Chain A
């Protein structure tokens, strides 16, 4: 029985260690998107032109914007990104020319308070580039290329600043966990569920130990 306890205890410690290790992994963390997936190239923009698009409000902790760009093998041109709202420009960012086509990340900085409900992306150079997004019929929510409404929407994924572990992200996770659910859920939900899960684990382990004890007696 003592051996059983010891082995189970070690197994639990191992699980805990793996959990801590897993949660400690540091990586870029997302903070939302414009809800458009980069499944195809959805906007064609000539060099020197721009693409603008309405978006859901820019998350307050967005520090970088990730887009998918295709340049037909040429280096990525200089890009300028700005997020605007009713009160003017709220955030801006830029990327120097010279990167490779594919996913690109543009750092953005808040320049004013307020809510951004659209973005404009200026493409430098003289070559045409394409941006990843989704095709869709022309509508008020679709992209404008050089001021002309087009069918399609450009995908923008937002990232938080730097790399973070899951421990560092916990307050944000806690907040997001309560969103998009029945109104009774909120910031309290994740910690309470964690405690409930701990209770389930304790109950299961106690039950197993009870069975081991009974078997040892038999």
Chain B
């Protein structure tokens, strides 16, 4: 009886949560859905503009998803062939190896070459590979399990058709990310609806974001889960941590953790944010109080307050426990299955194990903590005099990797805008940074209540930047080539939207929306010329 009652209660809870989520979706302003649709169509266009497998690492991401779709298992990561015979046939027919990294080379350019590709695929090479180890087979499976859905729903079994269907899922995730940027800004600046649209649209047209959204690439789920986490944490901070919000935070975080290992870098900041939310919830007046407690007197009053406080703690713990359960149970199941079912070399499928290996640095020593810290610092900031190593020419990482990379290092990092574009962008971003600072001062009253949560976001961001540095120095020493790419900081995309909105807010209220609209037009132009550049790269 008890089990039946508990099952019925949990079903009713689930129904209530679903109804609540649907009602929340209905409350999203029309402008939010418009931004979502604009982003969806824009990214869908990119999925056709970029030739198959030309998004970084797309061959490996596709191979992982195809293996999951075809076998129902995760790649065993053995030292065998990495791709299926079908994928090998496609990449050979597309002249993939001749094209990537060589800006002057093109893929298929003539009908005869196209016919050769389709004839090779018409031989029906097997779509089932052996799941050999690639740079991404140690990643968790959620994105690839999701990609298995369009893979199987595809009306054609042709690999290129399936690839296009899978790319559309990435575009959908990108559009959801844009919607979350919109909602994040709505939470932060509830009295400036124009700012929500401006922030979301600059992200929707950001060409490096769209380029990644054009491909089968696990980063798309990472960006989505990160934006969802930032949004839900901010919402819980502003409106209170209810059970439903706890569940949604848990879902966002688990999507990130099971989407890409990079997300783990956010966990200390998320834990801090949850602790802050729980602490505030437990102290909230009225939480746990029962009618009459306020009127109690003497010893009875003290006991009543004590009981109420404990009830308050209990109520605050409920959403936290729900979030923790939603995160921990699937992650634990994944870890156990990695070891006992899929035999993938450790709890994280070899992902963290690889990152923690301390390779031998040149000079015959292991990478030290100091070297790691120096490297990480220099990735984002100018080198300080006491730092022994100069890993990058002065200031080049900040502008060369992060800024220039965000403006556009496309393909397998093999084509870029003309040099003057990056020079112009440096001045523009410097000006926008000054404007954004003015915007922060002007909006300080609106932003101040969210400062504690922003401190947690700061810890999350530091975690990400630190993780990039930690992995970067090891990768560079082992492989001799740079590791960092601008897209690695794109889990922080909501703050790019915020940055532009703050810059627009530097102007008086009358002119701020117009500046914001002009910045969106600039972002649209940026996206347009990135597309013409891409067309000239692959078809011109």
Contact = CB atoms under 8 A, between A and B. Distances in A.
B429 interface: no
A215 B98 CA distance: 53
A200 B524 CA distance: 10
Contacts, number: 160
Contacts of B428: none
A169 interface: yes
B52 interface: yes
Contacts of A46: none
Given A30-B106, A57-B112, A179-B108, A215 B513 contact: yes
Interface string B20-39: 00000000000100110110
B81 to A, nearest CB: 20
B366 interface: no
B193 A208 contact: no
Interface in A150-197: 157, 166, 169, 173, 175-177, 179-185, 189, 193, 196-197
B38 A210 contact: no
B98 A183 contact: no
Nearest to B536: A166
B521 A19 contact: no
A15 interface: yes
A33 interface: yes
A12 B198 CA distance: 16
A208 B520 contact: yes
Interface stretch (B4-12, B43-51, B308-316, B372-380): B43-51
B529 interface: yes
A31 interface: yes
Nearest to A4: B514
A184 B197 CA distance: 35
A109 interface: no
Contacts of B194: 211-212, 214-215
Interface string B269-293: 0000000000000000000000000
Contacts of B522: 11
Contacts of A181: 48, 51-52, 160, 164
A134 to B, nearest CB: 9
B38 A18 contact: no
B119 interface: no
Looking at chain A, what size class is its interface with the partner chain?
A: 35 or more
A199 B108 CA distance: 29
B193 A37 contact: no
Nearest to B99: A35
Nearest to B34: A207
A115 B518 contact: no
Contacts of A200: 38, 41-42, 45
A142 to B, nearest CB: 15
Contact of A207 (B45, B107, B201): B201
Contacts of B540: 29-30, 166, 169, 173
A32 interface: yes
Contacts of A7: 514, 518
Contacts of B114: 179-180
B504 to A, nearest CB: 11
Interface residues of B, number: 61
A204 B516 CA distance: 13
Given A183-B160, A193-B48, A212-B513, A35 B98 contact: yes
Contacts of A212: 194, 513-514, 517
Contacts of A203: 34, 37-38
Contacts of A184: 161
A38 B104 CA distance: 10
B249 interface: no
B531 A59 contact: no
Contact of A179 (B42, B109, B201): B109
Contacts of A19: 528-529, 532
A173 B535 contact: yes
A114 to B, nearest CB: 12
A37 B102 contact: yes
Contacts of B45: 193, 196-197, 200
Interface string A3-38: 110011001100100110011000001111101110
Contact of A11 (B110, B197, B521): B521
A212 to B, nearest CB: 6
A208 B160 contact: no
Contacts of B528: 15, 19, 197
Contact of A183 (B38, B42, B158): B158
Given A22-B532, A177-B539, A183 B118 contact: yes
A42 B524 CA distance: 44
B418 to A, nearest CB: 10
B525 A18 contact: yes
Nearest to B117: A180
B163 interface: yes
B531 to A, nearest CB: 7
Contact of B48 (A3, A39, A185): A185
A94 B37 CA distance: 55
Contact of A182 (B95, B158, B521): B158
A72 interface: no
B110 A37 contact: no
A211 B105 contact: no
Contacts of B117: 180
A212 B509 CA distance: 11
Contacts of A18: 525, 529
B353 interface: no
A140 interface: no
B111 interface: yes
A37 B104 contact: yes
15 contacts: A4-B514, A8-B518, A15-B524, A31-B109, A32-B113, A56-B110, A56-B113, A60-B110, A166-B532, A177-B535, A184-B161, A199-B41, A207-B38, A212-B194, A215-B513
Closest 4 CB pairs of A and B: A180-B108, A32-B109, A182-B161, A211-B194
Interface of B: 31, 34-35, 37-38, 41-42, 44-45, 48-49, 51-52, 94-95, 98, 102, 104-114, 116-118, 156, 158, 160-161, 163-164, 193-194, 197-198, 201, 204-205, 513-514, 517-518, 520-522, 524-525, 528-529, 531-532, 535-536, 539-540
Given A59-B109, A179-B113, 8 more contacts: A35-B98, A37-B98, A189-B48, A193-B48, A204-B205, A207-B31, A207-B38, A207-B201
